[in-house]
Amino acid sequence: MSLLRENCTVVYFDATAETIYENIKDKTDRPLLNVDDPKEAIRELLEKRVSSYKKAAHYVVDGNNKTIGQMARGVLDIVQ
């Protein structure tokens, strides 16, 4: 993670398991989510990973209930 912070600007889109699930529920290319309860799998992955994601991030953008355009605007607001 330190290489990312040193060589890039890292933006973490913070979102709940429910929001992530809604955004990817129709995708078939997510092998870790090809399970009986994908929402629970997302919760478990977030629990394991979110602290690392936030630690690596220079900026955190709220990704809950936002369109891609709104999230992009959040990034532009940060970097401008």
* DSSP classification of residue 40: H
Residue 65: which residues within 8 A CB-CB, separation 6 or more? 19
Q: List pLDDT tens digits, range 45-79.
A: 999 999 999 999 999 999 999 999 999 999 999 88
Domain count, the chain: 1
pLDDT digits (tens, 9 = 90+) for 9-47: 899 999 999 999 999 999 889 898 899 999 999 999 999
Q: Which domain holds residue 26?
A: 2-79
C-alpha closest to that of 59 among 21, 5, 3: 5
What's the CATH code of the domain at 51? 3.40.50.300
Task: Determine if residue 9 is left, alpha or beta; phi over 0 gives left, psi from -120 to 50 gives alpha, anything else beta.
Answer: beta
Chain center to CA of 60: 10
| Model pTM score | 0.81
